[in-house]
Structure formats: structure tokens, C-alpha cells
Chain A
């Protein structure tokens, strides 16, 4: 199946439609909430939570014996929340730093989860197969009820986000100010963290424990490059996330042997890469162009200042000088000289140059300006 066939099938084929919708919704909600995680410098929290959710899945299965995805996700949610609050406990109550706390909870919970999973696999119960899809995710196992679940959670997220927009925003950028205004920062904090956990847990079935953190970070990191406004960033992140989901599903469906989760992550990474390079205000490309342009301007000014110093020693400022004497000067190039002519600062005659009045004036001003800046 090639990509075109995929897009013609996506509206008619049940499985494809479900998976595409599911990954798109997932991408949107993780992108939205991921923006908050990234801005709160909690980027790696997603990684830790997604790993910490694993024992919850195993315990939920052990307790109910059923593979109903909602029950398992509830287990994941509880265990993810426990992990999150334990991380906070470690950071606030001991001198261990946040990275240690994250790595600790991540690996310990994950190891415990693996212990439970292998224990479950050894049990004489044919029902247990397929639990390991939560490790790497299998978008193909999404059914319509899962997508509904995602849609509902996304809806709730959206409503809460809109209701508490002001609170979230102020907490994000100035926590102390929020506190002095009388907002209950602890509750808002818990609310937003719980929603991040919820989004992560939703994604486990689709992209799996290991890659979930990228789903949270990548769209937000990409969106951050295009804007300085929170609302725009959240909106853009949601779109980037949804697009990664759709394209990822399309590519993995059109090829054999490509798991959806990693492909979605790679597509999201492409978004990040493009944003890093091509964003107009922050991107590396335009930054480099601006850098070169500034350097050129500076060289131009240096040349002009040098000419000014020569012209100063003569009564007639337009007295012609040999171009040769500029050769010892570093900032001089044929290009800069041409530019000076274009600006009508300098006139050229054969192999000599002479400063115009305009050039003299702006050069002396330039000098004053520099002096002023020095002071």
C-alpha cells in the first residue's frame, strides 16, 4: 500500500480510520499538555511517568485478570501518579536532585513492572498475552472505544485548560506572584501534573512506555520555536502532534514491518528539526544569516571609519586617495567598497577613492555614536 492508497482508504477502512484518529487525537492532547511540561522544565517527567506506569498495568491485570484496556490504564494512571508524587517527595524532602529522583523512579518502577510482567507470563493463564504491547505500543490494537476514550479525555483536558487558562499561565511564568494573588498554587500544580500523567497514560497503548516522552516533548519543543505566546504555542503543539500522528500512521501503514510508535516519534523529530533550523526568529539558519549580516555591517563601518580618519587629515575631505592604501586594512573588500559607493558615501575614480560630504558626515556621526556607546 502506498501513501496515496492510504489516504483514499483512510475514510472507508475501519481499522485505518480508527488508528489514524487515535494517533491524531493522542498527538494533539500530548502536544497541548506537553507545552506545559516543557515550559515548566519538567520535560523528563514524561519519561519517568511513562516508565512508572508499567507496574500499575501489571498490578491491574493481576487484580482483575482482565485485559480490558480501560482497567489497565486506570492502574497505569494510579501508578504514574504515585511515581510523580514520590519524585516530588524526593526532591523536596531530601538533597537528591531532580535528575536523580527522575532516573531513580523511572528505573525502579520499570524494573518492578518487568518483574511483575515476567511473573504474569509464567502463570498458567492464557489470557496474559499481549500485555507487553504497552512496552513499545501497538497502534494496530486500537479499537473504537479506545478512540472514544481518548476523545473524551481530550475534551475534558480542553475544557479544564480553558477554564483555568489564566491560573495555568500565571503559575507557569510567575509562581510567587500567583501565590501572592491568593491562587492556590498547590492545587493548580497538582491539576496540571495530573493531566500530564493522564495524557501519558493514554498514549502508552499506542506508542509505548519507552517512546512516550518524545510524544510529549517533541511537538511542544517544535512549537516553542515559532512563537512567544503561550496560546499560540499550545495550539501549534497540538497541530504538530496531530500531524505527526497522522503522517506516522500513514507511513507505517504503507510499509511492511514498521511499527507505528517509532515512526510517529521520528516524524515529530522531523518537525523539531525543521523548527530548529527554519524558525524565523529563533531558528539556527536565520540566526546564522543575521550573524553574517551584522558582521558585514560592522566591516562596512570599520572601512568607513578608516577612510574618515584619512580624510580628516586633509583640508579637502573629498581629496582622492589610492585604493591601495585600504589593502592593509582588514575590513576592506571589493564588496564593501562597492556598497559604500551605492550608499553614496564614496566616489570612485579609476584607482582612487574620495569621501563624499554625505559619507564624511555619517562617518563622523558614527564616530560620535561609538563614543557615546563607550561612555
Chain B
């Protein structure tokens, strides 16, 4: 690995961490789309800052752009407050307008300077190591490494200092307000941090892909845990993993590093989305299928309890009268047999004493409107689940 390669991976990892921290809170506060809005609408701030400073890495530019981000949030909230349109429409109206202004400003004025919309949107991480920060003649490393490192340090400092407040206001705004923490200050603080991070990261990974680094690791982590600290940690791990693996993938494919980091994030999310132990799509579908069978089983047992006549209790009757398909009635019968709920004599089904007890209790719960208790009861009675 050459020096430049190590530096690129270091920058990408720092960006990933710096994005993952505010991203976690954005996802939890249902404000993920705000990060998308900010990432677009900082464009005019960047352009104006660039006209003034002529330097994409100047702190003034970062401040100006971050200010535009906060203005976006304020504008969105103002439009929401008028009640003329719904919340999401307000977001969708504000950022394209600001973005358009930015694009037109670039087209009108910056044609001959080095500021290109593609670069703002997509960034070019591969070029980051060539822009060195030189302090009194000594080369101390790439500029963007220092910028994102500084932002990350401030973010971590704020996170540690205000962790309790952030946690409380994220999960219980009312309680936070009544305990005297101003939700507004925390809200705008978080927005400011997100804006600054977005600006600091845009020249490494591009404004739009910052959104991926903010939302995707947090969303992936959210599928795996419900503990805030674990979620923060997991999203950082996911971010850094995608940053480094994405770099090598881009290296192999000879394509955009930012795009490839996002693709890795996507693959990671897809994997977790499919295979997460309790919230993954496969687990959810399996559970739904299990519940469907168990509900059928309960219906079937109730039917048996209600009918003494043999005609109603005949195995074939399941298909004819209850209108189930063959496969389904077979699954239900098997499950009932396995759990010792029924016995079958000469194709006539009858409840065992255990089945009878289960059904009686279930009826009690249904009559008293305590359906939820049936779930617990299943644990007591079932040897095998559906």
C-alpha cells in the first residue's frame, strides 16, 4: 500500500465515522430526509464561499455552507408551521430551489474557475491526498484529513458532553422539555453538526453520497439492535468497513471511490435487511407464516370443541367446510398432532385433554378481550411452533 492509499482510506474512514454519529440520531428522530435536503441546499453556500475565498477547503466556506444548511432547516420548519403543505412537501420544495440557485450561480459565474457541480455532488476522494496542508514549510498531511479530523473531534466531544440530553430528547421530547433541556437548542445543535459534517465531507465523498454515509449505517444498525450505544457503535463499524472495502472495490473496478463505498453500504444493508435475526425480512416472513399457521390451528381447535358430531370432525372436512387448501389443512393437522392437541381415529379428529384445556383457556382470553395473552400461552403449551 502506498502512502496515498493509506491516506485515502484514513480520510474515508474518518468521514464515515463523522457521518455515522449525527446520522444515527437523524434516523432515530425520523429526520433522515433532512440530511438529504441539507446536502443539496448547501450548494449555494459553497458557491458563495468559493467566490469569496477561492479555496474549497477554507474554514469560512465551511461555515457559510453550514449556515446555508441551518437556513434550510429553518425554512422547512417555517413552511411547515404555516400549515399550507405537509412536512415532507416542505422539504421537497426548499432544497431543489436552493440547489437550483447554486447550479445557476456556478453556470453564470464560475465557468472559468475550478468548481464543477459534478465534483460537488460526487466528490473525488482519489485527489484528496494531493491537496497538502503545509504549516511553515512542513508537510503535515492532506488538508481534508485535517478538516474532517477536526470536525470528527468536535462531533465526538459534543456527543460525549450531551449524550444524555440527546438521548432523552430523541426518545421523549416532552420529558426532555419538562426536565428543562431545551429541545430547540438540541435540535438546532444536531442540525448544525449535520450541516458542518456534510460540508466537511462533501469534497471527499460528494454532497449526495454523504447522505448514504449518514443514513445507511444507522439504518443497518437499527435493524440489529435497539440499544442506542450499540447502535452508534455498530453504525460506526459499518461505516468504516464500507469505507475501506469500498476503496478496494473501486481500486479493482477503476471507478468512483464514493460510488463504490455507497455500493458496499447498499450490499451491507441488503444483507442485514434479508438476514437480520429478528427484524430481517426472512425472519419477519417466517414469523408471519408461523403466526398464520398458529391462528389456523386455533380456529381448528375451536371448531373441534364446538362440534361433537363426527361428520364435522372428519379429516376431509377441513378442505370441504372450512375452505382450506389441502397443504394448509395438512400443516395444521400435523402441527396439532405434534403438539398432542388432537388424536385421529379412523379419520375422525378429536381433542386430547391437553387440547381441550388449551382451547378453553384460549376462549376465555378471547371473550375477555385479552388476545395478547394467547401468545404467552403458546409458550406453555406448544412443543413445536408452526
Contacts and interface: CB of A to CB of B under 8 A. Distances in A.
Contacts of B11: none
A348 to B, nearest CB: 42
B228 to A, nearest CB: 15
A99 B32 contact: yes
A217 B93 contact: yes
B40 A210 contact: yes
B123 to A, nearest CB: 10
A214 interface: yes
Contact of B273 (A90, A213, A214, A272): A90
Nearest to A225: B84
A82 to B, nearest CB: 12
Interface stretch (B94-102, B172-180, B310-318): B94-102
B321 interface: no
Given A107-B212, A114-B256, A263 B104 contact: yes
Given A90-B273, A96-B222, A259-B107, A38 B215 contact: no
Interface in B95-139: 96-97, 99-101, 103-104, 107-108, 111, 117-118, 121-122
Given A47-B36, A115-B260, A122-B255, A272 B265 contact: no
Contact of A100 (B32, B99, B262): B32
Given A103-B32, A110-B262, A258 B96 contact: no
A136 B117 contact: yes
Contact of B262 (A102, A108, A117): A108
Contacts of B88: 41-44, 99
Contact of B84 (A107, A109, A115, A282): A282
B92 A214 contact: yes
B63 to A, nearest CB: 24
Interface residues of B, number: 63
B219 interface: yes
A1 B40 CA distance: 31
B259 A118 contact: yes
Nearest to B249: A115
Contact of A115 (B82, B97, B263): B263
Given A38-B89, A103-B215, A214-B92, A114 B82 contact: no
A112 interface: yes
Contact of B85 (A38, A112, A258): A38
B40 A96 contact: no
A103 B103 contact: no
Contacts of B214: 103
B216 A107 contact: yes
A44 B259 contact: no
A210 B88 CA distance: 16
Contact of B118 (A113, A135, A214, A269): A135
B259 A108 contact: no
Contacts of B27: 96, 100
B211 A107 contact: yes
B96 A111 contact: no
A257 B108 contact: yes
A43 B223 CA distance: 25
Contacts of B96: 210-211, 213-214, 218, 265, 269
16 contacts: A38-B85, A42-B88, A47-B36, A47-B92, A51-B208, A93-B281, A103-B214, A111-B208, A114-B259, A116-B259, A221-B89, A225-B84, A258-B108, A259-B107, A262-B107, A276-B79
Interface of A: 38, 41-44, 46-47, 51, 89-90, 93-97, 99-100, 102-104, 106-119, 122, 132, 135-136, 210-211, 213-214, 216-218, 221, 224-225, 257-259, 261-263, 265-266, 269, 272, 276, 282, 284
Interface of B: 27, 30-33, 35-36, 40, 79, 82, 84-86, 88-89, 91-93, 96-97, 99-101, 103-104, 107-108, 111, 117-118, 121-122, 206, 208-209, 211-212, 214-216, 218-219, 222-223, 250, 253-256, 258-263, 265-266, 269, 273, 279, 281, 284-285
Sort A-B residue pairs by CB-CB distance and give the 8 closest, nearest first: A111-B262, A115-B259, A214-B96, A107-B212, A262-B100, A114-B259, A118-B256, A108-B266
